[in-house]
Amino acid sequence: MKLKRPSPAMTVAVIALVMSMTGGAIAAVNFAENAGKVDGYHAVKAGSGEKKRAGKLVATYPGGKARGKLPFRVLSGAASKGSVDRLSEIVARGRNGALLIPVTDNATTAAQTLINLELGNLQVACTDQQDQPGTENAATRVSVTNHSGGAINFTREVGNGAPTIATLENGIVETFTVGQENTFRLQLQGAPDKTVLVEGAARQTGQGTADSACAVWATAIFVE
């Protein structure tokens, strides 16, 4: 019995059937390959090493002080190999403070706390540098009191001036003056796992009048 050659229509129908069946298989394979991916990328745990996380998404920490935060080593390309594990645990948070303090004629106001730095209090007072009664020339006095319970490392800079570097024993107060308008920077480091960075500015208003005041504001960043 001689088989008939299939018609062109039958050939097209068979090819379409095969392609439709193969397409489903391809779709199933693609689905399996992309299962668990986000936008086509696999995700790895926050504590994964550099090789394991290369080309993948990195999850935030699920708990602890770093909950919801990315590992520091993922963000910093400058970390050395020996410091990766320590850097991965660093967490930063911040606080802001601002005060406007009217000066007392020929006197210094009581210190007010601008920010609790945890290792010490950042306090501000306003002093009148003008001896003439009724004419005020305010200047801002900034102080840090160490209440950490132990010694801390301390540095400060005012404007572009040379830094002051010291060790503050518990209970010791470090005070400096910011005249006119200027910025100041502080760093407190308590052993071994807490550092506080402060960026602040101060300006005086109403100079040469009977209504002078000190305006000061700052941001503290806590690195743990």
Per-residue model confidence as pLDDT tens digits over 175-222? 999 988 999 999 999 977 789 999 999 999 999 999 999 999 999 999
d(CA 202, CA 186) in angstroms, rounded, equals 14
Just give the CATH number of 92-223. 2.60.40
Q: What is the pLDDT of residue 72?
A: 59
Q: What is the pLDDT of residue 12?
A: 58
Q: Calculate mean pLDDT across residues 12-41.
A: 58
Sheet of 194-205, strand order: 92-102, 213-223, 194-205, 181-190, 152-158, 164-168
pTM score above 0.85: no
Q: Which has the closest alpha carbon to 50: 78, 73, 83, 82?
A: 73
The residue among 88 and 26 whose pLDDT is bigger is: 26
The token pair at 183 is 């910025």
Share of the chain above pLDDT 90, in %: 52
**Is the predicted pLDDT of residue 65 greater than 50, yes or no?**
yes
Task: Name the DSSP letter for residue 38.
Answer: B
The residue among 43 and 82 whose pLDDT is bigger is: 43
Residue ranges of domains in the chain:
43-87, 92-223
Report the DSSP beta bridge partners of residue 183.
201
Q: Are 42 and 57 in contact (CB under 8 A)?
A: yes
In this predicted model, what pLDDT tens digit does every residue of 112-139 receive, in sequence order?
999 999 999 999 999 999 888 999 999 9
d(CA 21, CA 203) in angstroms, rounded, equals 77
Q: Cα-flanking dihedrals φ and ψ of residue 53, to 5°?
A: -90, -5
